[in-house]
Homo-oligomer: A and B are copies of this chain.
Amino acid sequence: MELGIVFLGTSAAVPTRYRGLPSIAVVHRGSIVLLDAGEGTQAALTRAGLSPLRVEAIFITHLHGDHFFGLPGLLQSMGMLGRKTPLLVAGPRGLYGFLREAFRASRWLPGFPLYVAELEPGEKLVLPSGLEVESFPVSHTIPAMGYRLVEPRRKPRINIEKARRLGIEPGPLLAKLQRGEPVTVAGRIVRPEEVVEEQPRAVIVYTGDTRPCPTVVEAARNATVLIHDATFTSSMAREAYEQGHSTARDAARAASTADARLLVLFHISARYETPDPLLAEARIHHDNVVAAEDYLKIPIRP
Which residues of A line the B interface, CB within 8 A?
13-17, 20-21, 38-40, 42-43, 46-47, 63-66, 68-70, 72-73, 76-77, 80-81, 94-95, 97-98, 101-102, 104-108, 142
Contact = CB atoms under 8 A, between A and B. Distances in A.
A209 B117 CA distance: 34
Contact of A69 (B46, B72, B81): B72
A130 B205 CA distance: 53
Given A16-B46, A42-B39, A95-B105, A73 B65 contact: yes
Contacts of A65: 72-73, 76, 102, 106, 108
B64 A21 contact: no
A112 to B, nearest CB: 16
A38 B72 CA distance: 11
Given A20-B43, A42-B14, A97-B105, A76 B66 contact: yes
A98 B66 CA distance: 17
Contact of A101 (B14, B40, B69, B98): B98
24 contacts: A13-B77, A15-B43, A17-B47, A38-B73, A39-B42, A39-B43, A39-B69, A39-B70, A63-B105, A63-B106, A63-B107, A64-B106, A64-B108, A65-B72, A65-B102, A65-B108, A69-B69, A69-B106, A97-B104, A97-B105, A98-B102, A98-B105, A101-B102, A107-B142
In this complex, which of A20, A73, A81, A97 has the most chain B Cβ atoms within 10 angstroms of its Cβ?
A73
Nearest to A143: B107
A101 B63 CA distance: 12
A83 to B, nearest CB: 12
A13 B46 contact: no
A63 B76 CA distance: 13
Contacts of A40: 39-40, 43
Contacts of A73: 21, 38-39, 65-66, 69
- Which 7 A-B residue pairings sit nearest by Cβ, starting from the closest? A101-B101, A98-B105, A39-B73, A15-B43, A65-B106, A69-B73, A94-B105
Nearest to A106: B65
Nearest to A141: B107
A49 to B, nearest CB: 10
B42 A81 contact: no
Nearest to A20: B43
A269 to B, nearest CB: 11
Contacts of A72: 65, 69
